Amino acid sequence: MGLVKLYDTTLRDGTQAEDISFLVEDKIRIAHKLDEIGINYIEGGWPGSNPKDVAFFKDIKKEKLSQAKIAAFGSTRRAKITPDKDQNIRTLIQAEPDAITIFGKTWDFHVREALRISLEENLELIFDSLEYLKSHAQEVFYDAEHFFDGYKADPEYAIKTLRAAEQAKVDCIILCDTNGGTLPFELAQIIKDVKKHIQTPLGIHAHNDSECAVANSLHAVDLGVVQVQGTINGFGERCGNANLCSIIPALKLKMQKECVSDEQLRKLRDLSRHVYELANLSPDKHQPYVGNSAFAHKGGVHVSAIQRHPETYEHMRPELVGNTTRVLISDLSGRANILAKAEEFNINLDSKDPVTLDILDNIKDMENRGYQFEGAEASFELLMKRALGTHRKFFSVIGFRVIDEKRHEDQKPLSEATIMVKVGGKLEHTAAEGSGPVNALDNAIRKALEKFYPRLKEVKLLDYKVRVLPAGQGTASSIRVLIESGDKESRWGTVGVSDNIIDASYQALIDSIEYKLHKGEEGEAGKK
């Protein structure tokens, strides 16, 4: 078992990704989550580059972290200025982090074209900056920027830049694949050569432009690298950084490297979702280890096999990273899928029960008409309950009407929905406006039912997707509507299909409300 240090740069390199920006408060919240999962170093930002990062380093000092160290990021001193006079270097020290990481140039092409200084002068920049920082900080790391490209261009000079850092007695030298173009077999040969010349502990910082960032990071560890840098969910510039959500379980479970505890590993999916949420991005359902589809099974043969022996179609137990096995219901489904899905919802089905076959036939008929239950498990659960006779009818919709009216050419249309529902023996007739016909209908349904079922106020409509089904009928085609709803505890998906978009939306909305009411009733029964 070898010890590997995890260095997270989500709050710095991750924020360089398109569409990602974190408030200072978001960065503090993410830092706490990273600390909980066992990340050793959290790179909080570049204090010399913007006021937001300066504020982060000031605010994080007021927080109590259990084990993580906060690192500040910057660059070597500018040419013609001593380190003590360089504003960037001074700002790093003023931030008072636990560790300081600076990058310098390895590639002779960059030294000549970007810095426009001599190769010898660049070596002085690296040594001076690191030696000065080492006298002012507990730990100092050196990021050898563009190292692999630099080595390919001029191996001798690339090694000289590392020697300059080693002479300054840095704690770790990180080899960076900044452009993300290095392949694993190239990386291995280069690291082996570096180890012949450099005694200082090595780290790896990989980018994903060739889809090799995770593979390169794991290969580097196998070759003796002791620090791995990356980001949560692989956020980062261009194609992203090495994804720690894939690296951490691979290190711990597949390479037996000490990095996080079993309990911390079980929080991995939660951490991934938390960072997506604060970035205001939808989670990638196909993400390895932590994605919704990472352990999702669709084919009936697969499902039958994983019920007997999960390892037949799963490379590891999903619970180890806080995920779960999911069974998808589709036109590929067999009886095993239905039974497994029923078990997920604590519904007792017998494989020989005619009801099981009835449900299967019903699903296949519905899917022929365009229904899809992969993203609509709440609709599927209600379908099973109706077939079993355990579905409770909380209300009946007598009828509804939706009006869309555009009064002037330069004004938005007005949408109004009127609905009549029956709850018990009481009739409720209600109207509501909305931004569009579906929103108006949703508002009217809730308005009519909330006085009978106040818990519906907790429900929020989180996502609404419309898909025109391929039938070649133009505007008369069938339409599938998928709705994702949620409350404080969970999220659920529902589906509706019709040749009328309002009717398809209505079906999905009604299922969403019924699912919430069933959920609430089961919760109450559980408390009793």
Query: In the chain, what is the straight-line distance between the N-terminal and C-terminal CA atoms, in Å?
Result: 48
Residue 82: count other Cβ atoms within 10 Å of its Cβ. 11
Q: Extract the tokens encoding 468.
A: 């025109």
Alpha helices for 102-261 (secondary structure H)? 108-110, 119-134, 147-153, 155-167, 184-197, 213-222, 244-249
- Whether the pLDDT of residue 307 is over 90: the answer is no
Does residue 142 contact residue 172 with C-beta atoms inside 8 Å?
A: yes
What are residue 7's DSSP bridge partners?
Answer: 41, 229
Looking at residue 351, what is its pLDDT?
61
Kindly report, residue by residue over 120-159, the tens digit of the pLDDT: 999 999 999 999 999 999 999 999 999 999 999 999 999 9
Single-letter code of the amino acid located at 462: L
- Whether the pLDDT of residue 1 is over 60: the answer is no
Question: Could you tell me the fold of the domain covering 5-279?
Answer: TIM Barrel (3.20.20)
Cα 203 to Cα 242: distance, rounded to the nearest angstrom: 13
Q: Extract the tokens encoding 154.
A: 């001029």
Cα 220 to Cα 212: distance, rounded to the nearest angstrom: 12
Residues above pLDDT 90, as percent of the chain = 64
- Whether the pLDDT of residue 514 is over 70: the answer is yes
CB under 8 Å to 105, separation ≥6 — which residues?
A: 76, 111, 114, 115, 122, 145, 146, 150, 161
Q: Extract the tokens encoding 343.
A: 């078990």
- Residue 208 sits at φ, ψ, to 5 deg, of -105, 25
Looking at residue 221, what is its pLDDT?
98
- Whether the pLDDT of residue 325 is over 80: the answer is no
- Whether the pLDDT of residue 306 is over 60: the answer is no
Looking at residue 525, what is its pLDDT?
46
- Whether the pLDDT of residue 300 is over 60: the answer is no
Cα 164 to Cα 122: distance, rounded to the nearest angstrom: 10
331: pLDDT confidence band, cut at 50, 70 and 90?
A: very low
Looking at residue 428, what is its pLDDT?
94
DSSP secondary structure code for residue 160 in this structure = H
Residue 115: count other Cβ atoms within 10 Å of its Cβ. 17
Q: Between residues 259 and 486, which one has the greater pLDDT?
A: 259
Looking at residue 526, what is its pLDDT?
47
Kindly report, residue by residue over 75-111, the tens digit of the pLDDT: 999 988 999 999 999 999 999 999 999 999 999 988 8
Q: 9-18, 293-302, 357-366, 450-459: which has the minimum mean pLDDT?
A: 293-302
Does residue 247 contact residue 283 with C-beta atoms inside 8 Å?
A: no
Looking at residue 377, what is its pLDDT?
82
Going from N- to C-terminal start, the domains of the chain cover 5-279, 296-365
Looking at residue 271, what is its pLDDT?
95
Q: Mean pLDDT throughout 366-388? A: 81
Q: Between residues 83 and 384, which one has the greater pLDDT?
A: 83
Average pLDDT in the chain: 89
Q: Mean pLDDT throughout 307-326? A: 78
- Whether the pLDDT of residue 522 is over 90: the answer is no
Looking at residue 355, what is its pLDDT?
74
Q: 5-9, 87-91, 176-180, 295-299: which has the minimum mean pLDDT?
A: 295-299
Cα 225 to Cα 227: distance, rounded to the nearest angstrom: 6
Q: Between residues 356 and 273, which one has the greater pLDDT?
A: 273
Q: 169-173, 406-410, 521-525: which has the minimum mean pLDDT?
A: 521-525
Q: Extract the tokens encoding 442.
A: 């949703």
Kindly report, residue by residue over 9-20, the tens digit of the pLDDT: 999 999 999 989
Positive/negative CA dihedral, 363, 369, 374, 379: negative
